[in-house]
Amino acid sequence: MTHGYDVAHFLAGTMLVASFTLLYQDRIFAVLNTFAAQAMALALAVAWQGYVQHHPDLFITAAMAFGLKGIVIPLALNRMVVRLGIHRDVDQAVNVAMAMFLGLGLTSLALLLVLKVTPGAASFTREGLALALAIILLGFLMMITRRNAVTQIVGFMSIENGLILAATGARGMPLVVEVSVAFSVLIALFVFAVFVFRIRERFDSVDIESLDRVRGERR
Protein backbone atom coordinates (compact mmCIF):
# COMPACT_ATOMS: atom_id res chain seq x y z
CA MET A 1 0.00 0.00 0.00
CA THR A 2 2.70 2.43 1.01
CA HIS A 3 4.13 3.02 -2.45
CA GLY A 4 0.56 3.91 -3.45
CA TYR A 5 0.88 6.86 -1.20
CA ASP A 6 4.32 7.68 -2.49
CA VAL A 7 2.96 8.01 -6.00
CA ALA A 8 0.08 10.15 -4.72
CA HIS A 9 2.51 12.37 -2.89
CA PHE A 10 4.77 12.63 -5.90
CA LEU A 11 1.90 13.83 -8.05
CA ALA A 12 0.57 16.19 -5.37
CA GLY A 13 4.08 17.55 -4.98
CA THR A 14 4.27 18.16 -8.71
CA MET A 15 1.05 20.15 -8.48
CA LEU A 16 2.45 22.24 -5.67
CA VAL A 17 5.56 22.98 -7.72
CA ALA A 18 3.26 23.94 -10.58
CA SER A 19 1.42 26.32 -8.28
CA PHE A 20 4.65 28.03 -7.33
CA THR A 21 5.60 28.29 -10.99
CA LEU A 22 2.20 29.86 -11.66
CA LEU A 23 2.89 32.33 -8.93
CA TYR A 24 6.04 33.75 -10.51
CA GLN A 25 5.16 33.40 -14.19
CA ASP A 26 4.31 36.83 -15.48
CA ARG A 27 3.83 35.99 -19.16
CA ILE A 28 0.28 34.88 -19.72
CA PHE A 29 1.06 32.10 -22.18
CA ALA A 30 3.53 30.62 -19.77
CA VAL A 31 0.90 30.81 -17.05
CA LEU A 32 -1.54 28.93 -19.23
CA ASN A 33 0.94 26.21 -20.09
CA THR A 34 1.96 25.74 -16.48
CA PHE A 35 -1.66 25.50 -15.52
CA ALA A 36 -2.26 22.87 -18.18
CA ALA A 37 0.63 20.92 -16.70
CA GLN A 38 -0.85 21.18 -13.22
CA ALA A 39 -4.19 20.02 -14.51
CA MET A 40 -2.58 16.97 -16.11
CA ALA A 41 -0.82 16.19 -12.87
CA LEU A 42 -4.17 16.45 -11.12
CA ALA A 43 -5.71 14.11 -13.69
CA LEU A 44 -3.00 11.55 -13.05
CA ALA A 45 -3.38 11.92 -9.29
CA VAL A 46 -7.12 11.45 -9.47
CA ALA A 47 -6.76 8.47 -11.78
CA TRP A 48 -4.24 6.96 -9.41
CA GLN A 49 -6.59 7.44 -6.48
CA GLY A 50 -9.35 5.79 -8.48
CA TYR A 51 -7.07 2.86 -9.12
CA VAL A 52 -5.92 2.58 -5.51
CA GLN A 53 -9.32 3.03 -3.95
CA HIS A 54 -11.04 0.84 -6.61
CA HIS A 55 -13.42 3.71 -7.34
CA PRO A 56 -13.81 3.52 -11.11
CA ASP A 57 -16.05 6.61 -11.15
CA LEU A 58 -13.07 8.72 -10.14
CA PHE A 59 -11.78 8.07 -13.67
CA ILE A 60 -14.59 10.30 -14.92
CA THR A 61 -13.24 13.10 -12.80
CA ALA A 62 -9.74 12.34 -14.02
CA ALA A 63 -10.86 12.42 -17.61
CA MET A 64 -12.67 15.69 -17.10
CA ALA A 65 -9.68 17.22 -15.41
CA PHE A 66 -7.50 16.08 -18.26
CA GLY A 67 -9.78 17.03 -21.09
CA LEU A 68 -11.36 20.16 -19.82
CA LYS A 69 -8.74 21.76 -17.69
CA GLY A 70 -5.73 20.21 -19.33
CA ILE A 71 -6.64 21.03 -22.91
CA VAL A 72 -9.91 22.80 -23.68
CA ILE A 73 -9.88 25.68 -21.24
CA PRO A 74 -6.19 26.54 -21.71
CA LEU A 75 -6.77 26.67 -25.46
CA ALA A 76 -9.89 28.76 -25.04
CA LEU A 77 -8.07 31.14 -22.77
CA ASN A 78 -5.20 31.23 -25.24
CA ARG A 79 -7.54 32.40 -27.97
CA MET A 80 -9.14 34.85 -25.64
CA VAL A 81 -5.81 36.32 -24.70
CA VAL A 82 -4.94 36.70 -28.35
CA ARG A 83 -8.29 38.29 -29.16
CA LEU A 84 -8.10 40.64 -26.23
CA GLY A 85 -4.55 41.45 -27.19
CA ILE A 86 -3.30 41.27 -23.67
CA HIS A 87 -0.62 38.64 -24.28
CA ARG A 88 2.20 41.03 -23.45
CA ASP A 89 0.69 42.42 -20.31
CA VAL A 90 2.49 41.89 -17.09
CA ASP A 91 -0.28 41.93 -14.55
CA GLN A 92 1.31 41.37 -11.18
CA ALA A 93 -0.29 43.47 -8.46
CA VAL A 94 2.66 42.70 -6.17
CA ASN A 95 6.12 41.92 -7.40
CA VAL A 96 7.23 38.35 -7.91
CA ALA A 97 9.64 38.14 -4.98
CA MET A 98 6.93 39.30 -2.62
CA ALA A 99 4.51 36.80 -4.08
CA MET A 100 7.04 34.00 -3.67
CA PHE A 101 7.67 34.94 -0.05
CA LEU A 102 3.96 34.99 0.64
CA GLY A 103 3.66 31.64 -1.12
CA LEU A 104 6.36 30.14 1.08
CA GLY A 105 4.66 31.57 4.15
CA LEU A 106 1.34 30.08 3.14
CA THR A 107 2.85 26.67 2.46
CA SER A 108 4.52 26.62 5.85
CA LEU A 109 1.27 27.75 7.47
CA ALA A 110 -0.54 24.90 5.75
CA LEU A 111 2.05 22.40 7.02
CA LEU A 112 1.95 23.89 10.51
CA LEU A 113 -1.82 23.62 10.63
CA VAL A 114 -1.97 20.07 9.38
CA LEU A 115 0.75 18.97 11.79
CA LYS A 116 -1.77 19.63 14.56
CA VAL A 117 -4.02 17.00 13.06
CA THR A 118 -3.46 13.75 14.92
CA PRO A 119 -1.63 11.18 12.72
CA GLY A 120 -3.84 8.63 11.12
CA ALA A 121 -6.86 10.72 11.91
CA ALA A 122 -7.87 10.00 8.36
CA SER A 123 -6.82 7.45 5.77
CA PHE A 124 -5.86 10.40 3.61
CA THR A 125 -2.58 11.22 5.32
CA ARG A 126 -1.58 14.56 6.71
CA GLU A 127 1.00 15.18 3.99
CA GLY A 128 -1.62 14.91 1.29
CA LEU A 129 -3.89 17.23 3.18
CA ALA A 130 -1.07 19.70 3.72
CA LEU A 131 -0.23 19.71 0.02
CA ALA A 132 -3.86 20.23 -0.99
CA LEU A 133 -4.26 23.04 1.49
CA ALA A 134 -1.06 24.65 0.25
CA ILE A 135 -2.23 24.44 -3.36
CA ILE A 136 -5.56 26.02 -2.44
CA LEU A 137 -3.96 28.88 -0.55
CA LEU A 138 -1.48 29.47 -3.37
CA GLY A 139 -4.31 29.58 -5.87
CA PHE A 140 -6.07 32.12 -3.71
CA LEU A 141 -2.87 34.11 -3.48
CA MET A 142 -2.57 34.03 -7.24
CA MET A 143 -6.12 35.33 -7.58
CA ILE A 144 -5.35 38.35 -5.47
CA THR A 145 -1.92 39.09 -6.89
CA ARG A 146 -3.11 39.18 -10.51
CA ARG A 147 -5.07 41.96 -12.12
CA ASN A 148 -6.13 40.33 -15.30
CA ALA A 149 -9.25 38.23 -15.51
CA VAL A 150 -7.60 35.40 -17.44
CA THR A 151 -4.98 34.88 -14.79
CA GLN A 152 -7.69 35.16 -12.17
CA ILE A 153 -9.56 32.34 -13.85
CA VAL A 154 -6.37 30.35 -13.74
CA GLY A 155 -5.94 31.15 -10.07
CA PHE A 156 -9.45 30.02 -9.29
CA MET A 157 -8.96 26.85 -11.28
CA SER A 158 -5.84 26.00 -9.33
CA ILE A 159 -7.80 26.47 -6.09
CA GLU A 160 -10.29 24.07 -7.53
CA ASN A 161 -7.51 21.66 -8.48
CA GLY A 162 -6.50 21.61 -4.87
CA LEU A 163 -10.07 20.90 -3.85
CA ILE A 164 -10.45 18.03 -6.27
CA LEU A 165 -7.13 16.65 -5.09
CA ALA A 166 -8.29 16.77 -1.49
CA ALA A 167 -11.72 15.41 -2.29
CA THR A 168 -10.44 12.46 -4.31
CA GLY A 169 -7.79 11.88 -1.67
CA ALA A 170 -10.42 11.50 0.99
CA ARG A 171 -11.26 7.82 0.68
CA GLY A 172 -14.74 6.99 -0.48
CA MET A 173 -16.08 10.49 -0.21
CA PRO A 174 -19.49 10.58 -1.84
CA LEU A 175 -20.48 13.17 -4.48
CA VAL A 176 -16.89 13.84 -5.51
CA VAL A 177 -17.67 13.31 -9.16
CA GLU A 178 -20.81 15.42 -9.02
CA VAL A 179 -18.95 18.18 -7.29
CA SER A 180 -16.13 18.15 -9.79
CA VAL A 181 -18.73 18.40 -12.55
CA ALA A 182 -20.37 21.29 -10.70
CA PHE A 183 -17.01 23.04 -10.48
CA SER A 184 -16.36 22.57 -14.17
CA VAL A 185 -19.73 24.20 -14.81
CA LEU A 186 -18.69 27.07 -12.56
CA ILE A 187 -15.47 27.56 -14.46
CA ALA A 188 -17.33 27.43 -17.75
CA LEU A 189 -19.61 30.15 -16.38
CA PHE A 190 -16.60 32.15 -15.32
CA VAL A 191 -15.00 31.98 -18.73
CA PHE A 192 -18.34 32.61 -20.39
CA ALA A 193 -18.91 35.64 -18.20
CA VAL A 194 -15.59 37.14 -19.22
CA PHE A 195 -16.43 36.48 -22.86
CA VAL A 196 -19.84 38.05 -22.37
CA PHE A 197 -18.41 41.19 -20.89
CA ARG A 198 -15.93 41.33 -23.74
CA ILE A 199 -18.52 40.80 -26.40
CA ARG A 200 -20.92 43.37 -24.98
CA GLU A 201 -18.03 45.79 -25.11
CA ARG A 202 -19.39 47.29 -21.94
CA PHE A 203 -15.95 46.95 -20.38
CA ASP A 204 -13.12 47.86 -22.69
CA SER A 205 -10.71 45.39 -21.15
CA VAL A 206 -11.18 42.38 -18.95
CA ASP A 207 -9.11 43.99 -16.30
CA ILE A 208 -11.21 43.57 -13.19
CA GLU A 209 -10.28 47.01 -12.04
CA SER A 210 -12.27 48.31 -14.97
CA LEU A 211 -15.19 46.10 -14.10
CA ASP A 212 -15.40 48.24 -11.05
CA ARG A 213 -15.61 51.40 -13.11
CA VAL A 214 -19.31 51.69 -12.41
CA ARG A 215 -19.00 50.98 -8.78
CA GLY A 216 -21.29 51.04 -5.80
CA GLU A 217 -22.66 54.49 -5.46
CA ARG A 218 -20.56 56.53 -7.85
CA ARG A 219 -23.58 57.98 -9.59
Partner 1 sequence: MMVERPLDILAVALAIYGGAALLSLILPRRLLGIVYPACILAAILACAADLSVLAGQADFKAQLPIGLPSVGLRFRLDGLAAFFGFIVNLGIAASSLYGIGIGKADLSKRIEPFYPAFCAAMNTVLLADDAFGFLFFWELMSLSSWALVVARHEEAECRKAGYVYLIMAAMGTAALLFAFGGMAGAAGGYGFDAIRAHKLTPLISALVLVAALFGTGSKAGIMPLHAWLPLAHPAAPSHVSALMSGVMTKVAVYAIIRIVFDLLADPPWWWSLPFIILGAATAVGGLLYAVQDRDLKRVLAYSTIENIGIIFAGLGLAIAFKATGIVAAAAVAMAAALLHSLNHSWFKSLLFLGAGAVLHATGRRDLDGLGGLIQRMPKTAFFWLIGALSISALPPLNGFVSEWLLFQAVLAGPGFPEPILRFLSPVLGAMLALAAGLAAACFVRAFGTVFLGRPRSKDAAEAHEVPFVQTLAIGLLAVLCILGGLFGGFSAYAIGPLLKTLAGTELTGLLNGPTKLSLIAFDPERSIYDAPTIALFVTLSSITTMLFVHLVSNRRTRRAPAWDCGFPDASPATQYTASSFSQPLRRVYKGVVLGAVESLDMPPPGDLRPGHFSVRFYDYAWRNLYAAPAEALLAVATRFNAFQFLTIRRYLVLMFCTLIALLIVTAVWM
Partner 2 sequence: MNEAVYAVAGIPVISGLLLALIPGYRITAIGNVIASGLTFMASLTFLAMPPIVENYVILDSLNTFFIVLNTLVGFTTSAFSASYIGHEIKTGHLTPLFVRFYHALFQGMMASMNIALLANNIGVMWVGLELATLMTVIMVGIYRTPNALEAAWKYFILGIVGISLAFFGTILVYLAGQSVLGEGLPAMTWSRLLSSAPQLDAGLLNLAFIFLLVGYGTKVGLAPLHAWLPDAHAEGPTPISAVLSGLLLNVALFALLRFKMLMAAHPGALKPGPIMIAIGLLSLIFAAFMLYRRRDIKRLFAYSSIEHMGLITFAFGMGGPLANFAGLLHMVMHSLTKSAIFFAVGHVAQAKGTQRLADIRGLSVSHPALAAGLALGVVAISGLPPFGAFMSEFLILTTTFAREPLLALAAAFGLLVAFGALLLRLQGVLFGTPAGADHKVNASSLPLIVHLTLVLAAGLYLPAALIAWFQRAAELLG
State the binding string over 147-186 for partner 2 (x if CB under 8 A, else -). Answer: -----x---x--xx-xx--xx--xxxxxx--xx--x---x
Question: Is 214 one of the binding residues for partner 2 (CB under 8 A)?
Answer: yes
Give the footprint of partner 1 on residues 10-49 (CB under 8 A): none
Which H helix or E strand runs over 36? helix 28-53
Rule CB under 8 A: is residue 60 a binding residue for partner 1? no
Q: Are 20 and 142 in contact (CB under 8 A)?
A: no
Among 140, 177, 181, 195, binds partner 2 (CB under 8 A): 140
Q: How many CA atoms lie within 13 A of 191 on its CB side?
A: 19
Q: From residue 159 to residue 198, what is the string marking binding to partner 1 with x (rule CB under 8 A)?
A: ----------------------------------------
Residue 95 interaction partner, one of partner 2, partner 1, none, beta carbon < 5-8 Å per kind = none
Contact flag: residue 116 with partner 2 (CB under 8 A): yes
In the bound state with partner 2, the residue whose beta carbon lies nearer, of 30 and 121, is 121
* 168 Cβ contact partners less than 8 Å away, ≥ 6 residues apart: 45, 46, 49, 50, 58, 61, 176
Quick one: which of 140, 190, 195, 197 contacts partner 1 (CB under 8 A)? 140
By CB under 8 A, tell whether 45 contacts partner 2. no
Closest CA to 34 of 162, 184, 151: 151
In the list 109, 173, 177, 187, the residue contacting partner 1 (rule: CB under 8 A) is 109
Those residues whose C-beta lies under 8 Å from the C-beta of residue 158, and which sit 6 or more positions away, are 18, 19, 22, 35, 38, 135, 138, 139, 142
Determine the Cα–Cα distance for residues 72 and 51; give it in Å rounded to an integer.
25
d(CA 26, CA 175) in angstroms, rounded, equals 36
Binding site for partner 1 (CB under 8 A): 93, 106, 109, 112-113, 116, 137, 140-141, 143-144, 147, 152, 208-209, 211-212, 215-218
